[in-house]
């Protein structure tokens, strides 16, 4: 998930992704500072009520959770957010992030009105899980390696994300867990093409020439991947040949 190409860390290539990451970092720091943390939390964290309607959207920046959780969230968001932003554009990435956040918080708020205990939302994992499902639905067999040991296909990564969201937010209230998983379901169906947004004539840039249409951009990406696979295969054959030659003794030659 994390990119190996230094150009992927260029803010100009994925401004919305980096904007979200920086905003999450600022929210965490504000929530961590004792003198302002309580005020910040009461202003942005969603508590299940509609008394502060803006918190339906602002809760990902509440600062709940530890530093390691936010570091991992930032790295993960960089991977899936950059993928979506390059293909959908910055505006749609922001729309997906806040829209998926709203799907869960609004559902939980409506459930709370009926007397069900609401969940306290103050971290970014629900919308990030939804974005993960968009990416996984489009690249279901893309292998992802965790801690350099465990390798999973993207579709299973999406399933693990949904399960973690369900148990993380639905402890003692399974319905709340189901509502928290709704963004994952919406993200998956959108990524598979079952849900569609209004089409628009958007041009994207490869960084090496004039802007191109989304289809042309996808074709460009596929060609780049093909060239990378060919290069890796040539490198593998070269190493195999060198190792076979080095193993030959003077008598063999």
> Roughly how many angstroms between the first and final C-alpha of the chain, as a whole number?
46
**What is the number of other CB atoms lying within 10 angstroms of the CB of residue 158?**
24
Task: Write out the two tokens for 119.
Answer: 């969940």
Beta strands in the chain (DSSP E): 143-146, 150-153
pLDDT in tens, the chain (253 residues): 444 444 456 677 889 999 999 999 999 999 999 889 889 999 999 999 899 999 999 999 999 988 999 999 999 999 999 999 999 999 999 999 999 999 999 999 999 988 888 889 999 999 999 999 999 999 999 988 765 677 889 999 999 999 999 999 998 889 999 999 999 999 999 999 877 766 554 555 555 555 455 556 666 667 777 777 777 777 777 777 777 666 655 555 4
Report the predicted TM-score, pTM, of the whole model to 2 decimal places. 0.75
Contact criterion met (CB below 8 Å) for 125 and 101: no
SS3 content of the chain, % helix, strand, coil (to 5): 65, 5, 30
CA distances from 240 to 147, 160, 208 (A): 28, 38, 34
With tokens 């008598």, the residue in question is 251
Greatest distance between any 2 Cα atoms in the chain: 86
Nearest to 92 by CA among 248, 231, 200, 250: 200
Reported as half-sphere exposure (CB side, CA atoms, 13 A), residue 246 has a value of 6
């Amino acid at each position: 998930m994390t990119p190996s190409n230094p150009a992927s860390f260029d803010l100009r290539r994925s401004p919305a992704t980096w904007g979200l990451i920086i905003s999450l970092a600022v929210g965490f720091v504000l929530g961590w500072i004792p003198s302002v943390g309580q005020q910040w939390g009461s202003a942005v964290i969603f508590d299940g009520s509609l008394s502060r309607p803006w918190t339906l959207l602002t809760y990902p920046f509440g600062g709940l959770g530890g530093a390691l959780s936010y570091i991992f969230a930032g790295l993960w968001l960089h991977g899936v957010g950059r993928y979506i932003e390059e293909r959908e554009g910055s505006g749609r990435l922001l729309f997906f992030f806040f829209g998926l956040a709203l799907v869960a918080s609004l559902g939980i708020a409506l459930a709370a009105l009926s007397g069900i205990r609401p969940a306290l939302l103050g971290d970014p994992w629900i919308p990030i899980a939804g974005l993960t499902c968009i990416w996984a639905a489009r690249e279901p067999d893309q292998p992802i390696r965790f801690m350099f040991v465990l390798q999973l296909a993207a579709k299973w990564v999406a399933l693990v994300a949904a399960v973690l969201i369900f148990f993380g937010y639905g402890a003692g209230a399974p319905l709340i867990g189901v509502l928290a998983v709704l963004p994952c379901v919406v993200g998956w169906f959108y990524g598979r093409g079952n849900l569609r947004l209004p089409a628009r004539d958007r041009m994207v840039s490869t960084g090496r020439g004039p802007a191109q249409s989304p289809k042309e951009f996808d074709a460009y990406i596929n060609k780049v991947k093909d060239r990378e696979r060919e290069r890796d295969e040539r490198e593998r054959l070269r190493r195999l040949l060198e190792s076979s030659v080095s193993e030959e003794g003077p008598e063999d030659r």
